[in-house]
Chain A
Amino acid sequence: MVSMNAALCDVVYTNLVYQQLWTETEIINFEDVPIVCGKPSHRLTNDDNDNDADASNSEDIPSDGKEYVYPILMHQYKNSGFSMKSLDHIFSRLPDMIKRLTLGIVNDDGTVVYYFIYKGLRKPKKN
């Protein structure tokens, strides 16, 4: 199980560094929760809300520009077993300053897709 997690982290790590071109990327274990942490090659969204009249979202944005990616495996033909409890568990292990988790979903079609998860309610970003 542990080695499977490690293999999964490797897939996401390689994808982030060599497809998404992230920098300062490393794998950190927050107890039993492995996280791939790093800096995107450019700002991901325009969520540096300095100009936004309503800055209620800006507190969620990592100040050091780092993102925290939790890898999960998604099979076309198997259940994931991933629930809100799993999310609670991951967030409980992360330092409080981390408001935004990124799910790195490793599909069995060879792609990795990334989704932001916030605890609580979050306004949509401007398009």
Chain B
Amino acid sequence: MLISLACLVTIYEDRGRQVLTMSKRSHRNQLQYKHALPIEAQPVPSVWKHPFQAFSWILDWAMRWSETRIIDVKINQLGQILVCDQWQMKYLWEHGFFGTGQLSRSEPNWQARTMSRLQLNDADRINLEHVTDVRRRQRLEFKKLRAEFEAKKLEMRQKGIVDEQFIEQERLFLKNQRDKELAFEKDSMQIRDEDLRLIEGKSVIQLESLQLMPVEAIFLSYAVPVLKITLQQLMVSLVLEPKSFQDIKKLIHQYVAYHHYRSKGWCVRSGIKFGCEYLLYRRGPPFQHAEYGIMVLDANQSNDYTWYSSAARVVGGAKKQFVLCYVEQLIPEDDLMELWKQSKYDELFRNFKIHELLYKRWVAGKNRD
């Protein structure tokens, strides 16, 4: 983290621009992401100067209320739930960090990124993904050179030569390489044939859509209804014709857990990168790292120790707390299935209960505090 910050600073100095300070950045984030959900409260004016003002305010409020379902979604044959409109993509990202750009790590910024890669504009925004990428490449280069030195050293040792000068030279060289990593050279980017297809005038065409996880789509259609698709339409397209509760069980459990954390104010995102179901952010990815990794389990489920241990190690290794979220069914499966068939989702979701357990790897010799 320190290194990448150093990189940011260097880039900005190289460009002869203002150094981006952390506080400015977080201030900008505060403004850009001021809404935690796709709900914008309408402030009631403190003074009513004229009766007409009240009337207009109420009218305005009513208009907004009737217009909450504003986001178009498309479900393709792979079952991917996509938002393609530029403004809508941005809206969902900025109002609670919903969805993932299909060609990005999370925020759908592929177009801007590509334009800056092809040097089509001087984007002011620096690009974290590009930085990570170059750093990763430099790291590989470093490892390769280190391996070369090691091989030479081995060869010399086998021949019985001890060359102090060589070892010193190696040390200096490797240090140099390290410094170069920090200095971060913007490598010259050649334009590929594949890129030419993208360019349209001074811009690139938008290839990227925002993809919603099924649980996100349910949430945005049920709890905070902003998607134009109805909950029933959505459910049917997710699971076409369930034969038994087993066919919908996982989806329902996942959703119940997702809804639980969203309703407690967490920003919930996919945890696949860390081998768990969800990651919990206090506010969202631009603000800080996720604090918790959530694994969703059936309340009756019991896995062998190896399973817990490896899941916990991956999450723990990323400095996150590992939470087992147990979903308990309060009524028999047949009854739950009946509720699904009658599209009584409200009642369906109500018949679950969440139990949570924080799981921590503990080593007697290391954790004495």
Contact = CB atoms under 8 A, between A and B. Distances in A.
Interface of A: 3-4, 7-8, 11, 14-15, 17-19, 21, 23, 25, 42-43, 45-46, 48, 51-53, 73, 75-78, 106-111, 113, 126-127
A113 B194 CA distance: 22
A51 B79 contact: no
Interface string B80-124: 100000000000000000011111110000100010000000000
Given A76-B270, A108-B79, 12 more contacts: A14-B103, A17-B194, A23-B192, A23-B194, A46-B143, A76-B213, A76-B250, A108-B211, A109-B213, A110-B100, A111-B270, A111-B273
A11 B90 CA distance: 22
Contact of B254 (A21, A52, A76, A107): A76
Contacts of B148: 51
B196 interface: no
B331 interface: no
Given A14-B207, A76-B254, A110-B99, A19 B110 contact: yes
Contacts of A126: 143, 147
B2 interface: no
Contact of B102 (A3, A42, A110): A110
A78 B194 contact: no
A53 B151 contact: yes
A109 B77 contact: no
Given A18-B194, A19-B103, A76-B213, A108 B80 contact: yes
Contacts of A75: 79, 214
Contacts of A107: 270, 272
Given A53-B154, A110-B101, A126-B147, A46 B273 contact: no
Interface of B: 76-80, 99-105, 110, 114, 137, 140, 143-144, 147-148, 150-151, 154, 192, 194, 198, 207, 210-215, 238-239, 250-251, 254, 269-270, 272-273, 277
A45 B277 CA distance: 28
A81 B341 CA distance: 26
Contacts of A108: 79-80, 211, 213-214
A38 to B, nearest CB: 10
A92 B77 CA distance: 28
Contacts of A52: 147, 151
B140 A43 contact: yes
A127 B139 CA distance: 10
14 contacts: A3-B77, A4-B77, A7-B76, A7-B77, A23-B192, A46-B143, A51-B147, A77-B239, A107-B270, A109-B213, A109-B272, A110-B210, A110-B211, A110-B213
A18 B207 contact: yes
The 6 closest A-B pairs by CB, nearest first: A110-B211, A110-B100, A109-B270, A77-B251, A77-B250, A19-B103
B270 A42 contact: no
B80 to A, nearest CB: 7
A72 to B, nearest CB: 11
A76 B215 contact: yes
- The CB with the most chain A CB atoms within 10 A, among B99, B102, B104, is that of B102
Nearest to B154: A53
A42 B99 CA distance: 29
A7 B76 CA distance: 9
A15 B103 contact: yes
Given A77-B250, A78-B250, A15 B102 contact: yes
Given A18-B103, A46-B140, A109-B100, A73 B78 contact: yes
A8 B78 contact: yes
A81 B311 CA distance: 21
A46 B142 CA distance: 10
A3 to B, nearest CB: 7
A51 B145 CA distance: 9
Contacts of A110: 80, 99-102, 210-213, 270
A106 B78 contact: yes
A11 to B, nearest CB: 7
A27 to B, nearest CB: 14
A106 B337 CA distance: 29
